[in-house]
Structure 1
Amino acid sequence: MQPLVELTVTGGFAGVRNRLLVQDDGTYSTSSRTGAVRTGRMSRAELTELRRALEKADFAHLPREATGSPVADGFSYRLTYAGHTVTTDDTTRLPGLREVFAALPDG
Structure 2
Amino acid sequence: MDPVETTRAGGVHREGPWAVGTAHDTEFAVSRRCRHQLADLSKGHVDADGCLVCPWHGSKYDVTTGAMTQGPRGIFGYHGATPRYAQLVLAIGRTLRLRVRH
Normalised TM-score (structure 2): 0.31
Bigger strand fraction? 1
Normalised TM-score (structure 1): 0.30
Ranked by relative contact order (alpha carbons within 8 Å, sequence separation 6 or more), the top structure is: 1
Bigger helix fraction? 1
